[in-house]
Amino acid sequence: MNLNWTLIGQSITFLVFAWACYKFIWPLLIGAMDERAKLISEGIENAEQARRDLEDASSKVDEVMRDARADAQALVDQARTQAASMIEDAKKDAENEGERIRETARADVVQEANRARESLRAEVAELALSGAERILESGIDRAQHTELLDKLASEL
C-alpha cells in the first residue's frame, strides 16, 4: 500500500509542480524567448539595413571617385593647355625681342657705318687738302683749297 499512496503523492506533487511551472515560470520563459526572438529579428533587420547602407555608400563613393577623376583630368587638361599657351606666348615674346634686338643692331650698324663714312670723308678731305697744299703751295690759297675740297667731299 505504500507504493500506491507514494505513487499518488508523487503524482499530485508532480501535478502541483507542473501547474506552478505553467502558471508562474512558463510565462517568464515564453516572454524571454519572445524577447530574444524579437532581438534576433531586429538584429537581422539592422544587418540588412546596414548592408543596404553599405551598398549605397559604396555606390556613392564610386560616383564621387568618378567625378573626382573627371575633375582631376579636366584640371590636368587645363594645365596642359595653359602650359602650351604660356610656351607659345614665351616663344612669341622671344621672337619679338629677337626682332627688336636685330632692328636695334641694324640701326647701330647703319649709324656706325655713317659715322665711319663721315670720319673717312673728313680724313680723305684732310689728306687731299694736305696733299694738294703741298703740291700747289704757290698757286692757290688755302680758302680756295677748302672750298674745292668741300665740293669734293660733298660729291663723295
CB contact at 8 A, 121 and 153: yes
Q: Which of 154, 132, 127, 134 is nearest to 145 (CA)?
A: 132
CA distances from 136 to 128, 143, 144, 146 (A): 12, 13, 11, 13
CB contact at 8 A, 129 and 149: yes
CB contact at 8 A, 145 and 133: yes
Pseudo-torsion of CA 106, 112, 117, 119, nearest 10°? 180
CB contact at 8 A, 128 and 149: yes
Question: Whole-angstrom Cα distance, residue 122 to residue 156?
Answer: 11
| pLDDT value at residue 140 | 63
What does the pLDDT profile of the chain (156 residues) look like in tens digits? 567 888 888 999 999 999 999 999 999 999 999 999 999 999 999 999 999 999 999 999 999 999 999 999 999 999 999 999 999 999 999 999 999 999 999 999 999 888 888 888 887 777 777 766 655 654 566 777 677 667 666 765
Provide the strand spans (E) within the chain: none
